[in-house]
Chains A and B, each alone.
Chain A
Amino acid sequence: MKLDLKQHLKEMISAPGLSGYETPIREIIRTAWQPLSDEIRVNNLGSLQAIQRGEGPEPRPRVMIAAHMDAIGLMVTGIDEGFLRFMQVGGVDPRILPGQMVTVHATNAEVARDLPAMVVMPPPALLPKDGKSGPLPQKYLLVDTGLTPDEVNNLVRVGDVISFATEPMELCSESISGHTLDNRASVAAVTVALEMLSKRKHLWDVMAVATSQEEVGGIGAMTDAVAIKPDFAIVIDVTFAKAPGGAGIGNFEMGKVTPLTWGSCNHPALHKAMQATADEYEINVAKELAPTGSGTDAWDIQVAEAGIPVIELGIPLRYMHTPVEVVSLKDIRRAGRLMAEFIAGLPLDFMKTVIWE
């Protein structure tokens, strides 16, 4: 069956799955990856690992593709007259929070319930001096479920997680907006790669991983790397696109280019090899300069066990860690295709070329 990329992505960004609570998104990815894999399993910390076996003789070399599936969000820390106080899971600028639609995953009652709710800013009269003007510190923000205090006390408990609930939107030029496109956009690119590779001859084993707990520090990926012991790894994550308000070093235009990291988080030989594949197939790539690392799973996979060579791809994204992130489907397709062409072209002795000058 042909992959409907837009639908696949919209389904993924409609699903919850905060760091450490990835089950809902993992099951959606499992459904998409199962028919494309020979074997699928869940690691001890919740990552999903799909294996697509290669045609080389055993023992075959293995490449790991990692894209984290967990989402940033909020967690209930207290209940006050039916309103919820909360903290963050992952990094959120509190300035984007007032007026956000969210879902409280309430677990206090016998049957868990998802409660539609919103983050609210109390009126100035109820706030101290530092809350009367300027950005409201997160400790003063509340979540309102619209329920009565009794209902809230029955349903919600401290520790319940809260997801962003922005609905997916289709914007111009095949772009999609919503929450958690960081990093479901990259998971979608892995699905594209797996689909292409399922119809192509490849010698290497492909171990696709939707990692858990990236937003709290590469926890899933560092354990996946140990479990899988790949010869090398490809990490794919979103990166800063050119956007109003400011971009990163790369200033990548959306829909135009696939960034390849260049810095301490990648092996230079892998960068060159990936660049060569891009040149061969006329895939537009650019150097993403990462002088001190890129803040992704790559950082932890590199230092797993005795060390693993890594290369990293990016998908340009606007407004990272807000509930209105924007990506282009073109960038997802291109990144998926680059990974598939690269892996399909890997000779059995490829690792002999991954050496230091």
Chain B
Amino acid sequence: MAKHDNSTKFNPQMGDAELALLTRLCNAVSVSGDEQEVRAIVTEELRDFADFTKVDAMGNVLVRREGTAESRVRVMIAAHMDEVGFMIVKDEGDGVLEFRVIGGVDPRQLVGKPVTIGRDHVPGVIGAKAIHLTTPEERKQVLKVDQLRIDIGPGSDPKVKVGDRGTFATKLAVLGPSIRSKALDNRLGVFNLIQLVKHAPENVDLLAAFTVQEELGLRGAKIAAFAFDPEIGIAMDSTPANDLPHYDGFENTSHNTKLGDGPAIYIMDRGTIGDQRLIKWLIESAEAEKIPWQFRQPGMGGTDAGEIHKTRAGVPSVSVSVPQRYLHSAAGLIRIEDELNTLKLIHSALIRLDKSILNHQEKK
């Protein structure tokens, strides 16, 4: 019998132990296609809490935690383990390395950044020509990825090889009410899903999918959903909070989400029309527990739900994200209260979950 923490009294907080786990997760290097570091942390954290754990053909970690209630709903919750980064494609000698980006990174975010390479976390930098040597004309051009190089210092390091992956070297930091870190997309989701497995309510069979290659097109989630064959799918991810001032002082009406306004519930994105019954269930749970929440403005972008809902004969699915500024850059920024409210919302919704919510309303 798997170990279990007292589920109904679960009160999420960001204490020292939680912050230490989130820091380990965020500082790990886990670029799409090589998610080993996060996989190792997930497996270790959940060893005593899972009824079944499997690493599948692509490297997803599939964890099943069974409830004890008579009638249980089979809920799949997905959180992707991968992050954006780069791969070393050429060693030009003297510590200079050519690279290609993995996932959606604006090249403007790369210039002048410390990076970390490979399993050994070898430090390097992405430099730029000194301003003194550039012309005004040059400074009007974006530096493209194939013009940039990673520099690990003159000489060479046998620990760095062509084919190694790496990413930004930014370390997690607490900034007042906020957390600043790389890879909050989606280590927050991974962190939350770990907590949910540890505190899973008894009325669900929790099918936790820690997925790979989300940043390359939701690829891990596709096979994880097939294997789990769930009744309901939820993707926990991170979504942009574009809540910055407009350059001209106009009202910002395209914020997507706002920091501090609570978990973001998806109605529609590029890949999924959120299941209306599940959206209603989440909102009712939030209102009942007085948890702040917000709609993510319908628009582009997507989550693992984009694959989950199309699985087999179809899986009613919805996404919930922690609002985050500056995704896919050297560091994103989130509010700790949004993170805790997201975890609280999903947990309290699961406790209230009953198969009847999936009954279609009959037309009168």
A and B from one complex: yes
Taking beta carbons and an 8 Å cutoff, which residues of A are in contact with B? 80-81, 83, 91-101, 115-118, 120-123, 125-128, 131, 133-136, 140, 142, 144-148, 151, 166-167, 169-173, 175, 177, 240, 243-248, 253-255, 295, 318-324, 326, 328
Residues of B within 8 A of A (CB): 92, 95-96, 106, 108-109, 111-114, 123-134, 139-143, 147-149, 151-157, 169-171, 173, 175-180, 240, 242, 244-248, 252, 254, 260, 325-326, 329-331, 333
Specify which chain B residues have a CB less than 8 angstroms from the CB of A95 in the assembled complex: 108, 111, 128, 139, 142-143
Given A126-B246, A177-B153, A245 and B147 contact (CB-CB distance below 8 Å)? yes
The one of B126, B171, B173, B254 that contacts A324, using a Cβ cutoff of 8 Å: B126
Write out the residue numbers on chain B whose beta carbons fall within 8 Å of the beta carbon of A127.
247
CB of A143, distance to nearest CB on chain B (Å): 11
Are A118 and B180 in contact, CB atoms less than 8 angstroms apart? yes
Complex CA distance for A328 and B154, rounded to whole angstroms: 8
- B123, A116: Cβ atoms under 8 Å? no
Smallest CB gap from B131: residue in A = A93
14 further contact pairs, Cβ within 8 A, besides A134-B141, A171-B151, A322-B127: A83-B244, A95-B108, A95-B143, A121-B326, A122-B244, A123-B242, A133-B142, A147-B177, A147-B178, A244-B148, A246-B129, A253-B154, A318-B127, A319-B127
Contact B139 A135 (CB under 8 A): yes
Contact present for A144 and B325 (CB under 8 Å): yes
Query: Mind listing 25 A-B residue pairs with CB under 8 Å?
Result: A91-B131, A93-B139, A95-B139, A99-B331, A121-B106, A121-B326, A122-B247, A123-B254, A126-B252, A135-B108, A135-B142, A145-B175, A148-B177, A167-B114, A167-B171, A169-B169, A171-B153, A173-B154, A177-B151, A177-B153, A243-B151, A320-B132, A322-B111, A323-B112, A324-B112
Asked if A136 and B178 make an inter-chain contact with CB atoms under 8 angstroms apart, the answer reads no
What residue in chain B is nearest A322 (Cβ atoms)? B112
| Residues of A with C-beta under 8 A to B130 | 240, 246, 248, 319-322
Interface pair A326/B326, CB less than 8 Å apart: no
A317 and chain B: residue at smallest CB distance: B130
Determine the distance from Cα of A319 to Cα of B125 in the docked complex, in whole angstroms.
10
Chain B residues, Cβ within 8 Å of A131: 247
B231 CB to closest chain A CB (Å) equals 37
**Within 8 Å CB of A324, what residues of B?**
112-114, 125-127
In the assembled complex, the Cα of A115 lies from the Cα of B176 at a distance in Å of 9
| A244 contact set on B, CB distance < 8 A | 92, 96, 127, 148-149, 151
A136–chain B nearest beta-carbon distance, Å: 7
Q: Which residue of B lies closest to A131 (CB)?
A: B247
Rank and list the top 5 A-B pairs by shortest CB-CB distance, nearest first: A171-B153, A146-B175, A146-B178, A172-B153, A173-B155
Task: Name the distance in Å between B94's Cβ and chain A's nearest Cβ.
Answer: 8
**Interchain nearest-CB distance for B144 vs A (Å):** 12
Contact present for A146 and B176 (CB under 8 Å) = yes
Q: Which residues of B contact A255 (CB under 8 A)?
A: 154-155
- Chain A residue nearest to B130 in the complex (CB): A320
Residue with the greatest number of chain A CB neighbours at <10 A, chosen from B126, B130, B171, B331: B130
B156 touches A172 (CB 8 A): yes
User: Which of chain B's residues have a CB closer than 8 A to the CB of A96?
Assistant: 111-112, 128
